[in-house]
Amino acid sequence: MTDFVLKRMVALVLPFVQMLGFYVIFHGHLSPGGSFSGGIITGLSLIAFSLVFGLERGQEKVSERMMSLVESFGALWYGAMGLVGVLRGTTFLMNKGAGVPLGEPGKLYSGGLILLITLGVGLKVASTVVTLFVALMEEEE
């Protein structure tokens, strides 16, 4: 792909797409969307980069190794957040009852652990989408 306009446009738009992705992830507990939608948006931005600039340059930016690390981290992070409740002597995934401060309703920090869990799931979804894309692209050679 040597399309100049396409490359410039993608380079211009991508940061905003990624920002939107993280915005959706962070506001999952306040507005429509959440970790899954936000993670997909973030992942798609990386896929768009690979599509326009080629798979190799995309791999330079975020390597497969890095992605699988993030993927495992996202899943483990969820488990760790769930264990907070167990360690505080209550049940798995317990939020308020485990003594986590809930914050003020309607503000960004509200809902205690939910924000942190959403972050982990969002990272996992984003990296999974990219890994899937890379796996399917590599099959084709």
Binding mask 1-30 for another protein (x = CB under 8 A): ------------------------------
Element (H, E) at 48: helix 35-53
Q: Alpha helices of the chain — where are they, by DSSP H? A: 4-26, 35-53, 55-61, 64-87, 113-139
Among 52, 62, 75, 116, binds another protein (CB under 8 A): 75
Among residues 16, 66, 43, the alpha carbon closest in space to that of 133 is found at: 43
Interface with another protein includes 101 (CB under 8 A)? no
Q: What count of residues does the chain have?
A: 141
Among 24, 44, 94, 126, binds another protein (CB under 8 A): 94
Interface with another protein includes 109 (CB under 8 A)? no
The residue type of 51 is: L
Closer residue to another protein, CB minimum distance, 6 or 112: 112
Interface with another protein includes 97 (CB under 8 A)? yes
